[in-house]
């Protein structure tokens, strides 16, 4: 079974600074997807960024980028120019190949942004 580990229960960052959230996963598959989801106090899970394992290029979405190290099974999220609205729980998630129906989530990292 696949597992996803987020080793940082809480992180904080100064507004406008950069922060990196860590995620490692365990799988024996070669075809899979990795995601970072954000869950603000409103509770709705919002996709931040998605990475396809077969793509070597790291995904980026505006201020959000990932460092995908397939051999190390590491998938960290970097948030640049942090904003107050970035404060939330961040969950790393894994999904098997294109036919998959299930996401496996980590326990999350609570990010606080200090003004």
What does the binding site for other proteins look like in residue numbers (CB under 8 A)? 4, 33, 35, 37, 42-47, 50, 52, 91, 93, 95-108
CA 74 distance to own-chain centroid: 10
* Shortest spacing between CB 31 and other proteins, in angstroms: 9
To the nearest whole angstrom, how small is the minimum distance from the Cβ of residue 99 to other proteins? 5
Beta strands 74-79 and 88-96 are unpaired
User: In whole angstroms, how close is the CB of 108 to other proteins at the nearest point?
Assistant: 5
Residue 75's contacts (CB-CB under 8 Å, 6 or more residues apart) are 23, 24, 25, 34, 36, 51, 66, 67, 68, 69, 92
The answer to whether 22 and 106 are in contact (CB under 8 A) is no
- Please say which residue, 35 or 113, places its beta carbon nearer to other proteins: 35
Q: Which is nearer to other proteins, 82 or 109 (CB)?
A: 109
Q: Name the residue nearer to other proteins (CB basis): 56 or 101.
A: 101
């Amino acid at each position: 079974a696949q597992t996803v580990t987020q080793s940082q229960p809480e992180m904080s960052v100064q507004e406008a600074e950069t922060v990196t959230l860590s995620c490692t996963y365990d799988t024996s598959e070669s075809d899979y997807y990795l995601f970072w989801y954000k869950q603000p106090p409103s509770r709705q899970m919002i996709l931040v960024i998605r990475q396809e394992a077969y793509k070597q290029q790291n995904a980026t979405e505006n201020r959000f980028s990932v460092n995908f190290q397939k051999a190390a099974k590491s998938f960290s999220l970097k948030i640049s120019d942090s904003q107050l609205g970035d404060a939330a729980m961040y969950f790393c998630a894994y999904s098997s190949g294109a036919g998959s129906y299930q996401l496996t989530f980590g326990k999350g990292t609570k990010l606080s942004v200090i003004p």
